[in-house]
Amino acid sequence: MSEVFDVALDRDPLVGPDPTWEALPEATRREWISDIRNFPPPPMFLELLDRDLHYESFDTRKLSEKLVHDPVLAGRLIARANSAAFGLRQPITSLSRAMVQLGFNLVRSTVLRFQVEVSVAELKGLLRSQFLAIQRSTDQGAVLAYNWANALGLKDAASIATLCLLGRLGAFLLARRYPDRMYDYFAAGHEPQRLDFEATSFGATTRSLTYKVAQHWRLPVRLQRGLFHLWTPLFAEYGDAADCVACASFCLGFDPPHHRDDIQKWVELDVHARLRENLEACRALKSLPDVVDSRSYQREMAVVAE
């Protein structure tokens, strides 16, 4: 296997509390590389991402024919389609009908998240409760990102949501190695505090490790770059609306907004000053309250929170 860990994170002008990959002691880097190599790529992730999970070509019949052979994933989709959030009078038992009920975003996020879960299962020693906490935060961030990007008319809202789904791949590695310290990580009040806690307690951050996992999985370069820059709008001037929406949604994943007061409290935090400025500069912040009040957001958030 060719070496894929040769891109130095400190060559990027990110401003923030993130120790660079090259700054780590060589022995520490070798240990993390060993962990990353034992984190296998999801079996169908790239195939599904490239062929079946595009909005323009989304075909529930064809996709159900492919996924029906995986009873666990099929069951996951059907269970979500029967969520109390939909208020169905009759339960859904058909996979294709379940996909119609869920809609593109929930089908896409459920399928991709399941693929990641298959890979995470190979990380022996990861506590189930911590896996679920990380998973739920990324699911919730992806729901917000997709709905917000659509409201803004941004191109390829699904790709923006994917950044949120994959943004904590490195956190799985941290949780596996330092399970006792992760409770303080989950208790952190905001993303800058989590990054600072990681840098102080672990000597490495989710950002660095996630980027390395993305390289190891040979994800598309555009997706690697998106994950690398996911945190950048928190600390540096950044004018791209898609990246700012992804960053803000990702940060809100652990504590997603359910009404306008939540948003106001979040934007008023001093640690979000740069991100707030970036969102205002690309005219994204003004639409967030209406997104949170929308029926589609509320319903999808209720489904993934179950």
Is 156 within the bounds of a domain? yes
Q: How high is the mean pLDDT of the chain?
A: 88
Let me know if 287 is exposed, middle or buried by CB neighbors in 10 A (0-12, 13-18, 19+): middle
Q: Which domain CATH number covers 32?
A: 1.10.3210.10
Q: What percent of the chain has pLDDT over 70?
A: 92
Q: Residue 289: pLDDT above 90?
A: yes
What CA–CA distance (Å, rounded) separates 54 from 271? 35
173 & 204 share domain? yes
Cα gap 155→171, rounded to integer Å = 28
Q: Is residue 6 included in any domain, yes or no?
A: no
Confidence class of residue 48 from pLDDT cuts 50, 70 and 90? confident
Question: Is 180 domain-assigned?
Answer: yes
DSSP one-letter code for 48: I
Q: Is residue 4 part of a domain?
A: no
Mean pLDDT of 150-155: 95
The answer on 151 and 254 residing in a single domain is yes
Q: How many domains does the chain have?
A: 2
162 & 258 share domain: yes
Per-residue pLDDT at 5 exceeds 50: no
Q: Assess whether 226 and 295 both reside in one domain.
A: yes
pLDDT digits (tens, 9 = 90+) for 197-243: 888 888 888 988 999 999 999 998 889 989 988 999 998 888 899 99
Could you say which DSSP state residue 255 is in?
A: S
Q: Let me know whether 204 and 64 are in one domain.
A: no
CA–CA dist 163, 227 (Å, integer): 6
- Residues 110, 112: Cα–Cα separation, whole Å: 6
C-alpha–C-alpha distance, residues 131 and 106, integer Å: 20
Instruction: Looking at the structure, tell me whether residues 229 and 290 fall in a common domain.
Output: yes
Domain holding 93, by residue range, is 42-122
Instruction: Convert the pLDDT of each residue in 15-25 to its tens digit.
Output: 444 566 777 88
In a domain, 1, yes or no: no
Do both 289 and 218 map to the same domain? yes
Query: Is 16 within 8 Å of 235 (Cβ atoms)?
Result: yes
- Residue, of 294 and 24, whose pLDDT is higher: 294
Q: How far apart are CA 90 and CA 296, in angstroms?
A: 21
Domain limit, last residue, from 90, 122, 154: 122
- pLDDT(300) > 50: yes
Neighbours of 188 (CB within 10 A): 15
What distance separates the 2 farthest-apart alpha carbons in the chain? 59
Q: Specify the pTM.
A: 0.90
